[in-house]
Amino acid sequence: MALPLLSDADGEVLAELLRAVGDDRGAHDPALGGFTRACARTEENERCGGTPLLPARHARAASDGDRAARGIAEL
């Protein structure tokens, strides 16, 4: 789940993730696990330091008023 959230299709993946979490309790833990793993990924996969890719991408989306930013807050 982490890599699709970091792809160019992240908005669609996030929408499906939110739908699955709301519709299927069994999908909740794996979906949130993938989300938190995606949040921890940095450009160079550093363990300490570096800018996390997913939060940075969605911070930009929030400043642009993008719909995906609302999905992050909802999740």
Q: What pTM was computed for the model?
A: 0.62
Domain that holds residue 70: 2-74
Which phi and psi angles does 45 have, rounded to 5°? Answer: 55, 40
Determine the Cα–Cα distance for residues 58 and 73; give it in Å rounded to an integer: 10
What does the chain come to in residues? Answer: 75
Q: Which two tokens stand for residue 10?
A: 């992240």
Give the chain's domain count: 1
**Tens-place pLDDT, residues 12-63:** 877 887 887 777 778 778 888 888 888 888 877 766 677 888 788 777 777 8
